Chains A and B, each alone.
Chain A
Amino acid sequence: MFSQIALGTMEQGLMYAIMVLGVYLTYRILDYADLSVDGSFTLGAATATSMIVGGTDPWLATGMAFIAGTLAGLFTGILHTKFKITPLLSGILTMTALYSINLRVMGRANISLLGSRTVFTDFAKLPFMEEYGVFVLCLISVVCLGSVIYFFLQTELGLALRATGDNELMIRSLGVNTDLMKILGLSLSNGLVAFAGSYVAQKVQFADASMGIGMIIAGLASVIIGEVLIGTSSIGRAILAVICGGVIYRVIIAVVLQLGLEATDLKLITAFIVIIALVSPNIRRSLSSLLKGVQGKEAQ
């Protein structure tokens, strides 16, 4: 019983870690809080499930989910760079538009994949994969995608992307079209998020129009948890931190559920995790300045 829950949590954690990698690309690398994530996660799930139900090969459907996600990111990027809409609003606009698009893609509010072929049922047919197939496939996917991102961020293009998030004025004066970099980063990020969405839908054999709600906050919580626990001293470490953050976040959620809280309370808990993480540096600073003030008075 316990090992079942533990395995399920790890599987979920690794799937969500892919989504968190996407959030990391925008939130940390580009310094852009992209809210389209909520919509593109569902978009990935909707694309993959409706294609699988329609008879498409599940691996191809998963790839198409990624592409659908990049298109969503492209849209957000164009809204922001070409039409000068603020990052937050661009994301919200895409997210809202995607809600309707997702319903169109699915044709109804939810799709069941019960009994259908998925990437996981395919993978389980390989030798020794019957029991741990989902876990192994998720692990392979996370390691591959994490490495690709790691190497990408060390390429000339990757450096330009990082510099766009760090010092836009400087990298533009070095001849980089920062608008293009932002669009690239947003596309890649939303592609990863949609990819994760398609995995989750195939695992739970179900897609729902509202499954992406609160995903951005879960992503932020995971990024922050990972960074606090593992650190960010180098790009490799930061990527590892982000992946671990995604898994740890799922573990926390599982523990909280085991403690007897309702599944419907999850969003509240997630919001609190992010609030605590965002506020704690401020509190620490004001506490230390308070302490200094006291010491100053004592000195007088």
Chain B
Amino acid sequence: MLNVREILKTFNLGTINQKIALNKLSLELFPNDFVTVIGSNGAGKSTLLNAIAGNFFVDSGKIAIENADITRLPAHKRADMISRVFQDPLSGTAASMTIEENLIMAYRRGKTRRLRPAIGAKERDIFRAKLEKLGLGLENRLTHRVSLLSGGQRQALTLLMATLQKPKLLLLDEHTAALDPKTAEKVLELTCNVTEQEHLTTLMITHNLDHALTFGNRTIMMHEGRVILDIKGTERNNMTISNLLQMFEKASGAHMNTDRMILA
């Protein structure tokens, strides 16, 4: 499904701040995989997602989706395959535009934008039905500006936008980290529902080790730009948080920022 082969990305090359963010990282995702990604700050988790989404090109290596090489494709040309939810609830929606305008832009993700009225009655019905499922009462607020919504509502809307047009790959970059615990649970529940119903292949970064092990079918751990642990099946089912931390220390020779990981 997704095939990342030996990608290398160095930031600030040749300066004093030079940092290897992705160090010949390889990763393969199979159809319907829901992979959780953990690792300490600066391990390269977000950089990996940015590289897959095409926010920058990798220095070397190859990225392919369903055997199609996308390594040199700019971000907007990958949009028909990949959709994304960011950590910051503000960054996934256009605040000055209405809920239905945001939804229609996502509805036409990766398609040509034509010179014709964007929203019709048919689309409105679809949006209303989809919003109803969120259970946030947004179905009656189609023409409200997104800036009027709370962070949780905006993130739920972003999640809906990301899955409105079924993507081949869904990238979630700590999408619940900026929400209060209750809203975070709600958004995670929505995430699970939609990935299951739509059979999405998903890559989710999280700082919550409990979530990392309970959600999805596979967990990878990153350190210094590499995948240092990749568990699934029974090995993963028998895994506990303390085991995971021990394995991290063994594999990386460093201590994980445990307070944040456990409390997150």
Contacts and interface: CB of A to CB of B under 8 A. Distances in A.
Given A159-B105, A176-B79, 6 more contacts: A151-B117, A159-B104, A163-B105, A167-B94, A171-B94, A175-B80
Interface in B50-106: 53, 74-77, 79-80, 83-84, 86, 91-97, 101, 104-106
Given A154-B117, A175-B110, A169 B91 contact: yes
Interface range, B side: 20 to 34
Interface of A: 151-152, 154-160, 162-163, 166-167, 169-178
A175 B77 CA distance: 6
Given A167-B93, A170-B93, A174-B106, A158 B76 contact: no
A167 B95 contact: yes
B91 A170 contact: yes
5 contacts: A160-B105, A166-B96, A170-B91, A170-B94, A171-B94
A172 to B, nearest CB: 5
Contacts of A170: 91-94
Interface of B: 53, 74-77, 79-80, 83-84, 86, 91-97, 101, 104-106, 108-111, 113-119, 161
A154 B106 contact: no
A170 B86 CA distance: 9
Contacts of B113: 155-157, 159-160, 176
B94 to A, nearest CB: 4
Given A173-B79, A175-B111, A154 B95 contact: no
Contact of A172 (B75, B93, B95, B104): B75
Contact of B114 (A156, A169, A172, A174): A156
B82 to A, nearest CB: 8
A87 B92 CA distance: 24
Contacts of B116: 155-156
B96 A173 contact: no
Contacts of B161: 174
Nearest to A175: B79
Nearest to A174: B109
